[in-house]
């Protein structure tokens, strides 16, 4: 198990605390983000859900990404 998976609860807690803190520091920004809606769907939330789901849909192998630069040099 990698460090990300091992401490996932900690990362989620830090993200929640960061979001609450930023919301208290810059409420105008978060109000503007909340108003970005289309058909009662927040566009920012929809975008982040798409970013989270899309790699699973296309079955991206993130462990192979590190080899992309090496294999690209082999093509040229």
pLDDT of amino acid 71: 62
- C-alpha distances (whole Å) from 47 to each of 23, 24, 41, 42, 61 are 19, 23, 10, 9, 21
Domain with 60, as residue range(s), is: 3-75
- In tens, the pLDDT along 9-68 reads 999 999 999 999 999 999 999 999 999 999 999 999 999 999 989 878 888 777 777 777
* Residue 4 and residue 11 in contact, taking contact as beta carbons nearer than 8 Å: yes
The model's pTM: 0.55
3-state DSSP of the chain: CCHHHHCHHHHHHHHHHHHHHHHHHCHHHHHHHHHCEECCEEHHHHHHHHHHHHHHHHCCCHHHHHHHHHHHHHHC
Domain count, the chain: 1
pLDDT of amino acid 44: 94
């Amino acid at each position: 198990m990698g460090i990300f998976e091992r401490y996932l609860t900690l990362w989620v807690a830090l993200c929640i605390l960061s979001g609450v803190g930023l919301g208290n520091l810059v409420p105008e920004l978060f109000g503007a983000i909340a108003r970005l809606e289309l058909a009662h769907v927040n566009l920012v939330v929809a975008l982040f859900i798409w970013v989270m789901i899309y790699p699973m849909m296309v079955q991206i192998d993130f462990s192979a990404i590190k080899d992309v630069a090496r294999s690209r040099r082999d093509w040229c």
